[in-house]
């Protein structure tokens, strides 16, 4: 069954993003503690992006762009940890390197920049497209009014029974 939430259908048994992240971290912690620590520390900007979004679905694109670029920043270092047989010493050496943290957080910052630049561009594009569609609809309405008469426009006065008032 599906629950109604904010007028939209949402599966009742779906995992939230936070639940999914916790499950992934627990499984990763069982397999490789250095990899889990890297993702736990490296993905903090993603957590911040989701907290700042809250329940506003309109801002979910920001969280998505930050998450994708943040993980892209973590990924090369995650591969280094995996390539070094997931040893705790080498993993801690990678995690405590300040340059690693700067690179990871810089890519998350790039997610915020991508969101800021593209959201303005996309909204102006959609606005221009909507204006063109509105002009097309108005042109079609004019053609219909010429063909079928002014009654189809809905702009003529009506009496109390809903019939057109005849002009004198």
Most confident of 2-6, 50-54, 79-83, 98-102: 98-102
Q: Could you write out the DSSP letters of every residue in the chain?
A: -EEEETTEEEETTPPPHHHHHHHHHHHHHHH-HHHHHHHHHHTHHHHHHHHHHTT-GGGHHHHHHHHHHHHHHHHHHHHHHHHTTT-HHHHHHHHT-HHHHHHHHHHHHHHHHHHHHHHHHHHHHHHHHHHHHHHHHHHHHHHHHHHH-GGGGT-S-B-TTSPBPPP-
Domain segments of the chain: what residues? 18-150
Give pLDDT tens digits for 116-132: 888 788 888 999 999 99
Q: How confident is the model at residue 2, as a pLDDT?
A: 45
Give 106's pLDDT tier (boundaries 50, 70, 90).
very high
Q: How confident is the model at residue 55, as a pLDDT?
A: 62
Which neighbouring-strand residues pair with 150? none
Cα separation, 103 vs 101, whole angstroms: 5
Least confident of 35-44, 103-112, 134-143: 35-44
Is the model's pLDDT at 162 over the cut of 70?
yes
As a whole number, the mean pLDDT across the chain is 81
Q: How confident is the model at residue 148, as a pLDDT?
A: 85
Q: How confident is the model at residue 3, as a pLDDT?
A: 46
Give pLDDT tens digits for 51-91: 876 566 656 778 888 889 999 999 999 899 888 877 788 88
Over range 26-52, report the average pLDDT. 84
């Amino acid at each position: 069954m599906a629950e109604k939430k904010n007028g939209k259908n949402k599966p009742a048994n779906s995992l939230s993003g936070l639940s999914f992240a916790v499950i992934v971290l627990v499984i990763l912690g069982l397999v490789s503690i250095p990899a889990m620590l890297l993702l736990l520390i490296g993905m903090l900007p993603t957590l911040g992006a989701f907290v700042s979004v809250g329940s506003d679905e309109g801002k979910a694109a920001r969280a998505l762009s930050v998450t994708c670029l943040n993980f892209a920043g973590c990924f090369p270092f995650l591969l280094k940890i995996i390539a070094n047989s997931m040893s705790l010493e080498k993993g801690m050496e990678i995690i405590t390197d300040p340059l690693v943290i700067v690179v990871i957080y810089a890519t998350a910052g790039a997610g915020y920049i991508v969101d800021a630049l593209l959201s303005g561009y996309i909204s102006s594009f959609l606005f221009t497209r909507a204006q063109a569609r509105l002009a097309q609809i108005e042109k079609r309405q004019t053609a219909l009014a010429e063909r079928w008469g002014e009654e189809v426009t809905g702009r003529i006065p009506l009496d109390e029974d809903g019939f057109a008032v005849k002009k004198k």
